Structure 1
Amino acid sequence: MKKLTTTFAIGFACLAISLTGCKPAPTADSGAADAHQGEAAHAHPTEGPHHGSLIELGNEEYHAELVHDDAAGTVTIYVLDSAAKAQVPIAATEITINATHDGTPEQFPLAASPDENDPEGQSSRFVSTDKELAAHLDEEGAEPRLVLSINGKSYRGTIHHDHDGEGHHDHDH
């Protein structure tokens, strides 16, 4: 009987923990925050504010937006907030896109190019004029990934480059 009581007590404790989880203590606006979290997972835009492809960073803690401009020969990354709407300046002089070309890993740095609203020493925009990077984004098997650090935390995001969504119709896929 003692074994059954112990098993029941452990089972009850596990049930209580699973029902309460590790949620933070409620605050005055926690209902709005919970509703927003549900929306954020499904209601953020499918493209960024500059009409580029979105890249998820962390558990949607941040996003990045990739804008590929064939005419200018540039690849631009904008660092965005969790809702993928507002630019987030970070303290970095460059960020990196890793891609594989013919089975060989390659790294492509994108230099900070601060927007007019970015504070001194920070940038929310990073640019590359490397034509090889632009070509690799569209290659089969390149598996491009963005690597950057925000407030001391490293983030990696898989790049799903959608050429057609950006009005680029002059490439074969």
Structure 2
Amino acid sequence: MKKLLLLALAGTFVVSAVSAQAPEDKSKRPSPPATAMETIHGGVHVQIDYSQPSVKGRTLWGGLVPYGQVWRTGANEATVFTISAPVTIEGKTLAAGTYDLFTIPTDGDWTVIFNSETKLPNGKPTWGAYTYHQDKDVLRVTVPAGKSASFTERMTFTVGKDGKVSLMWGDKQVDFHVAKA
């Protein structure tokens, strides 16, 4: 009986160890991953990697997403913004590279934040805004938030060839402009 119990316990351990090592299928998350990318005028490649939360009937602005606080601008891992060359964003210079993108929503203007800390000390991507450090901000711009032309259930980023980046979720749309420096 002891051998049978020991064998069952060992089998459970092996199954647990194997399943713990299996890579997670991120597409099965409630907020699946998405990418918006475009090569804008001047040949600059812009890419945004993010997770798409859904409204699901919730109050977003000032509710699920509090006003006046740093927001990860998506779900799961922090949203990542990558540019292949130096650019200006709303007229302010940003060096080529990869940044975590955060926002501070308000009922009017939003602050869009480009932060240089894209990895945790263990090398994994930053998660949400839980490890956000303001001293790692390399650029902040303020842009107006407007009402979107149509309701967007899943948070979505778009990048236009003209460099217009749009964030749409629920009834809001927030745009900022990227141009080759």
Q: TM-score, normalised by structure 1?
A: 0.28
The structure where helix makes up a greater share of residues is: 1
Q: TM-score, normalised by structure 2?
A: 0.27
The structure where strand makes up a greater share of residues is: 2
